[in-house]
Amino acid sequence: MDKLAGIFSPCPPSWLGRLVRLTTRCFRHAFEEEPLQVDEFSECRIRGAAQWIEHSGEILFRSLDNIPDFTDLNPGTLYTGKGGLSRERWDFWEASFRVLTENESFAGETVLICDKAAQKMAAIAANTAVSDEPSHNETASIEDFVKCVPPDES
């Protein structure tokens, strides 16, 4: 049982930085690199980016402009704005999802996924901007990203 407890011990804070880096790279490869080809790999990258919004969108939004600008978070060639995880970049990604909803070359399911992701991003931004809850003004913690400690079953 002690070995199992070690597996579920709290994650180190460095995981937050790693997750932000992974998220940003995922979006950069999906939307910021050119040329965007209509192929299996592009659709896979786009769907991967949509999953980040589906599962961690609120946390990512709360972390905008609060995470250090790591050098590996530099933008791709299609995005010329601020690097790192910023509101400007969030808006660019949302717009990219919206553009893809009008692209008839992609599979219908991918278009629906893009539409859902764009709507969720807009809703997150709207809800967070008008919220009076203090937690929306805080940077996300590693506990928000990964729930490493299971509930006490004793």
Handedness of CA 17, 20, 23, 26 (dihedral sign): negative
pTM of the model: 0.72
Q: What is the pLDDT of residues 38-92, one digit of tens each?
A: 777 889 999 999 999 999 899 889 888 777 666 667 888 899 888 888 899 999 9
Closest CA to 46 of 112, 142, 91: 112
Q: Could you tell me if 128 and 61 are in contact, meaning their C-beta atoms sit under 8 angstroms apart?
A: yes
Q: What is the pLDDT of residue 138?
A: 46
Q: Which residues of 8-27 are buried (b: 16+ CB within 10 A; e: fewer)?
A: eeebeeeebeebbbebbebb
Handedness of CA 73, 18, 63, 43 (dihedral sign): positive
Tokens of 147: 């729930």
pLDDT band at 2 (very low <50, low <70, confident <90, very high): very low
Q: In the Cβ-directed half-sphere of 124, how many Cα atoms lie within 13 Å?
A: 23
Q: What is the pLDDT of residue 68?
A: 66
